Structure 1
Amino acid sequence: MIDAVVVSYNSRDTLRAAVEPLLALPGVDVTVVDNASSDGSLESIADLDVRALESGRNGGFGFGCNLGAAAGDAEYVLFINPDARISADDLARLSAVLDSSPSVGLVGPQLREEDGALIPSMRRYQRLGSTWATALFLHRFVRRAAWANEIIHEESAYSAPASPEWLSGACMLVRRSVFEALGGFDERFFLYCEDMDLCRRVWASGSEVRYEPAATARHEGGHSAPRTSLFAILAESRTAFARKHSGIAIAMLTRLGLAVHAATHALVASAARRPAHRQGNVAALRAVVRARG
């Protein structure tokens, strides 16, 4: 059995398309956690046979995932975004990885857009070098350099199974015993970095993170950059990740790099007459400066 958890926040337009295919999968129980949506998200699936939970507040993605996972008891837990879809065959391929490899605690599929375009889902941890490279736009000139880029862009890397540092949380199947032993997602990450943090803790626990290209999930808008209104939340999460997983000196230098990133990108956005991006980066700069610790 597999418990599928979908966290919704104002996801009415995509929620039904994500949930309905899951209901057709054998051995899958579906839980939808609604984080105090204002668009009537749960109304769009009221006629479907799902466990619908109203969280009562928008506590963030990890908060919703933990709530949904706790409602079930299946051996494996599928976390999937409300704008993503996976078929029975593809889910079976992910499950087979956990069945055959006890050392694997978390496995993710190949992600593709609706038009078939590959979405790079294998990532490297946030590091001091990548933070400053992005702040100074160096990653655009050394796109393939591991020290400068956190996303693995080379399409050839996605043709074979791999064990990356972390995987996008848009769709991941997790062994419940591992997930519960780790205490689930760290709810201090409201949005962004909670998947990076979970994968890092999976590795630290002695289990493996696995990428499985034989399985594919479709993710609508997976190539899209964060909305400008979320730049501040992203900056806060990256600051928190550095504080949690780095020494004091590295965490402070990372925080400085995130502040420089916000400042340089605000200047470029202003010069390019992109007011929304400028405002988003100014908000991110304030968030980094005001972050605790």
Structure 2
Amino acid sequence: MSALVDAVVVSYRSAETLRGCVEPLAAMPDVAVTVVDNASPDDSVATIAGLDVQLIESPRNGGFSYGCNLGAAEGAAPYLLFLNPDARIDAAALQHLLDVLRAHPEAGLVGPRLLEPGDELAFSRRRFPSNGSTFAQAVFLHRVWPQADWTDELVRDPAAYEHAGESEWVSGACMLVRREAFEAIGGFDERFFLYCEDTDLCRRMWDAGHSVRFEPSAVVRHVGGASSEVGATQAILARSRVLYARKHDGAFGARVHAMGVALGEATHAATAMSRPASRRGHMAAARAALSVR
């Protein structure tokens, strides 16, 4: 019998968390699980031995978008679940997400409520990045006015996570996507190696006439488990933000955005004098933002 949901988990240095993510999925009826290992240097693949999953061992680490597209192409189920290897979803949460897409045929994707360790709410509802929010964050205005729409992309009002509804974009840590809509817009943009690929996907969903939704009754737990050292991915994030701006706001908007990102990295580096690795990461990120062409 064909699957209802194709679950795609992209793994890179995920030996500590991968099995805990995949094992519950593999036991769910109507769910076909594909694990894409992005040339991990650890023993991530060995941890899922014996599970009923399809394993794709990529010859290179092409990035998160690349891995997601690779996994999505292996199935034909009407729904695609993209789940980070350090996240956990149960059958009830998946059913809630499915119910949303069935009840809202105009919706292209839906994200759940995400909880961090200790049941702390993760701010997974987001606003699209803008030059205004980028400069506001650079000078820490998001800390002065944490719930203001113009200071930050994160929706920080806990009350917003108590109600279902539309969201500009939701975290890619877990999202259920309608395959038809996903394929119509060309899947993830593989120019985003890491970060902003979820922002871009949701933006293109809206542009194509599909809504993006948030469903609080679907609870997914983020257990943590870093796949990179402190400061190692900050430059990738900075580059992705500028690439996103260039794609959606044009060359001039991207230049302004790059200056805002670089300023933010510089101010954050100034506050990280006692943390050399973090400081180096911020300075590398500032250079990366200004180098995007």
Task: State how 1:144-293 maps to structure 2 within 5 Å.
Answer: 144-221=147-224, 227-270=230-273, 273-292=274-293
Aligned Cα root-mean-square deviation (Å): 1.5
Count of residues paired in the alignment: 289
Instruction: Give the superposition deviation at 1:288.
Output: 1.6
- The equivalent of 1:119 in structure 2 is 122
SS at match of 1:108: strand
- The equivalent of 1:26 in structure 2 is 29
Instruction: Give the superposition deviation at 1:222.
Output: 9.3
Is 1:44 the counterpart of 2:47? The answer is yes
Instruction: Give the superposition deviation at 1:248.
Output: 2.8
SS at match of 1:266: helix
Runs of at least 4 residues off by over 6 Å: none
Partner Cα distance (1:198, 1:17) in 2? 27
Is 1:96 the counterpart of 2:99? The answer is yes
174 and 159 in structure 1: CA distance in 2 versus 1, 3 angstrom threshold: same
Partner Cα distance (2:214, 2:250) in 1? 29
Asked if the contact 2:66–2:188 (Cα under 8 Å) also holds between the matched residues in 1, the reply is yes
Partner Cα distance (1:262, 1:93) in 2? 39
Instruction: Give the superposition deviation at 1:226.
Output: 9.1
Partner Cα distance (1:289, 1:255) in 2? 6
Task: Identify unmatched segments of 5+ residues in structure 2.
Answer: none
% identical equivalent positions: 56
1:130-154 per-position Cα deviation (integer Å, ceiling 9, x unaligned): 1001111111111111011110011
Aligned partner letter, 2:137: T
Partner Cα distance (2:36, 2:50) in 1? 16
Partner Cα distance (1:46, 1:226) in 2? 27
Partner Cα distance (1:218, 1:268) in 2? 31
- TM-score scaled by structure 1? 0.96
Task: Identify unmatched segments of 5+ residues in structure 1.
Answer: none
- The equivalent of 1:2 in structure 2 is 5
Partner Cα distance (1:194, 1:222) in 2? 20
Q: 1:110 aligns with which of 106, 110, 113?
A: 113
Partner Cα distance (1:230, 1:236) in 2? 10
Asked if the contact 1:113–1:222 (Cα under 8 Å) also holds between the matched residues in 2, the reply is no
Partner Cα distance (2:264, 2:213) in 1? 31
Greater mean deviation of Cα atoms: 280-289 or 7-16? 280-289
Instruction: Give the superposition deviation at 1:238.
Output: 0.4
Task: State how 1:130-149 maps to structure 2 within 5 Å.
Answer: 130-149=133-152
Is 1:86 the counterpart of 2:89? The answer is yes
Instruction: Give the superposition deviation at 1:280.
Output: 0.4
Instruction: Give the superposition deviation at 1:115.
Output: 2.1
Instruction: Give the superposition deviation at 1:289.
Output: 2.3
Partner Cα distance (2:188, 2:267) in 1? 32
Aligned partner letter, 1:107: V
